Amino acid sequence: MSEYSELVYLYKKGCEYNAYTKFGAHFMEIDGVAGVIFRVFAPNASCIYVVGDFNNWEATHPMQCDQGIWTCFVAGICEGTLYKYLIEDRHGNSVYKADPYGFSSELRPNTASIVADPFSYRWSDSSWMKSREQKDFVTSPINIYEVHLSSWDTVIKNKKSINLRKTGKALVEYCKSMHYTHIELLPIMEYPLDMSWGYQCTGYYSLSGRYGHPRDFQYFVNLCHKNDLGVILDWVPGHYCMDEHGLAKFDGTNLFGDEVHPHWGTYKFNFTEKTVWSFLLSNAVFWSKAYHIDGIRVDGVSSMLYLDYGRDNRFRKNAYGGEDDLYAKDFLKTFNDLMHREFPGFLTFAEEASSYQGVTAPTYLNGLGFDYKWNMGWMNDTLLYFSVDYDYRKENHHKITFSSVYARDEKFILPFSHDEVVHSKKQLLDKMPGEYWRKFACLRTLMAYQMFHPGKKLLFMGIEIAQIMEWRFYEPIEWFMLKYPIHDSFHEYVRMLNKFYLSEKALFEMDNNVLGFDWIDANNQEQSIFSFLRRSKDGEEIIIILNMSIYEYQDFRLGVSQKGKYKEVFSSNLKVYDGTGSHNETAVTSEDIAFHQRENSIRITIPPLSATAFKKI
């Protein structure tokens, strides 16, 4: 029996979850001779050579084939060695390929893989990893800062990589000072085209050459954990790019899939092939084991779930007459079960833009098993409402209230992501109507609405300083805007809003509990005022009032359930945030006057374009 029989059996069944330990380039010693063993799965190739800087890129090191696995041991080479596979297909065509399981890559435009050991880093985050296993993230605050590493504070120029240790340290210090709980990174796996932002990968197991050595990224993750910050990676298992050195037609055939994705001009992974499952599931496990990441956000889940996603004329049906891709669905269920079983406390997120049911339902109930789904409906309705001129908001009142109808259908992330500040969609500040000061007041209200609405939070970099220009991958955040007082004040406002969110259990403990949210008045469309309660598990309440109009209301009567004194604990209209300064400076006492179907009420001041929060004292 071949030494690879068990590996091939599991790999072809889609059950090999640690394929990276077998395939790729690994240090080993044979008969006392140290070197590297190369293995690659290419069952349809006729001949493969390992070529690299160790042999002047000449075909002098042929690989031996056993059940589709090609192997070659090269003595004397060390970490940092460049290599590729020279693959000849059954038609006599030859092509140079990067290693699908390569752990490191040259900086683009160069495309070679680099011999590296991603398991040599000495971690010191055991306390974080242990606490993660015990944490209940459903009842905990999650406030995510979404980052494109290449353009957070600098831009990769020429052939220089980012100094990730320096940039990483600055990013960690910044996120901690801003009271974020997690950092989510746009894909950091190797990709050839900068303008794809990492969403068209060639090296799924490789840290991009843009970010240096694998140990640099491990240092960054370790530093995050020591500062109580989780790390989430964007992951793209739905499609891969067509570049010649990548996965496309790897062994002369469409080993990973050949259907062209209509939106992105890429190839879709073929989930009917279980070898694809082993490749991708092992990839998720690899990033979790080698880099201690805390979560994965799966990009483009909708494009995976529907057989004819992105095509105008839908015609394909599954075996039961439905439109969903049963193989992709089963893959996603397996992915979620695997990650939750193997890595307690690990979080999975779905970017799913349709009304597909059960994205966050458990797999034993035929759900997909994700922990959270991005609430794209909430995001679209919210941004549409906030972009409407103030005099016409009452006609769009339902855009705000509608989300409460389905808020508990799934476990949601409320995202203001990179996709909303590119491609002429304008930055969030520029979406707001009116004069400059009103734009800021409106944006402050928008940020508070996100924090006070049930659901976990995500904000893309630059929004927190009210950046004016759309995000461009080739330019850093406009940090110079902080020299202007109104931008600096807004930055401080977001910092304090984040802090307030983390300090108030009522804002996160019962996001998915019917008792965690209650409208006080959802129907005041004439004044464009929304009021509701958020509640913690122990019954503590926060009253939220959002004034979406440009008018101030004094002696505004608001129904309350309990007698007593109420104190304003948050206002977006303080002068320190460049508001007008009008707010409720002293506590107010309830009156025995029924209002809003409650036995008591209070009279308060509601500033224009503001978010206000009260608590009973």
For 539-598, how does the pLDDT look when each residue is reduced to its tens digit (9 = 90+)? 999 999 999 999 999 999 999 999 999 999 999 999 999 999 999 999 999 999 999 999
Q: Residue 493's closest CA among 443, 568, 563?
A: 443
Backbone φ, ψ for residue 351 (5° rounding): -90, 95
For the record, the structure tokens of 31 come out as 């008969």
User: Rounded mean pLDDT of 187-198?
Assistant: 96
Percent of the chain with pLDDT over 90: 93
Q: Which strand (E) or helix (H) includes residue 566?
A: strand 565-571
Q: What is the mean pLDDT of the chain?
A: 96
The one catalytic residue among 89, 99, 146, 351:
351
For the record, the structure tokens of 432 come out as 């707001």
pLDDT at 376 over 90: yes
User: Rounded mean pLDDT of 369-383?
Assistant: 97
Q: Taken in order 88, 93, 99, 104, is the CA torsion positive or negative?
A: positive
For residues 90 and 46, is the Cβ–Cβ distance under 8 A? yes
User: Rounded mean pLDDT of 74-87?
Assistant: 97
For 273-331, how does the pLDDT look when each residue is reduced to its tens digit (9 = 90+)? 999 999 999 999 999 999 999 999 999 999 999 998 877 766 788 999 888 999 999 99
Q: Which strand (E) or helix (H) includes residue 129?
A: helix 126-134
Give me the pLDDT at residue 263, please.
84
For residues 218 and 244, is the Cβ–Cβ distance under 8 A? no
Backbone φ, ψ for residue 566 (5° rounding): -125, 135
Give me the pLDDT at residue 509, please.
98
Give me the pLDDT at residue 30, please.
94
User: Rounded mean pLDDT of 84-93?
Assistant: 95
For 231-267, how does the pLDDT look when each residue is reduced to its tens digit (9 = 90+)? 999 999 999 999 999 999 999 999 999 889 888 899 9
58 is catalytic: no
Give me the pLDDT at residue 159, please.
61
For the record, the structure tokens of 106 come out as 């040259």
User: Rounded mean pLDDT of 152-178?
Assistant: 88
* Residue the block writes with tokens 């969609």: 425
* Residue the block writes with tokens 């092992």: 282
Give me the pLDDT at residue 262, please.
85
pLDDT at 443 over 80: yes
The one catalytic residue among 89, 251, 299, 464:
299
pLDDT at 16 over 90: yes
Buried b (16+ CB within 10 A) or exposed e, 152-178: bbbebeeeeebebbebbeebbebbeeb
299 is catalytic: yes
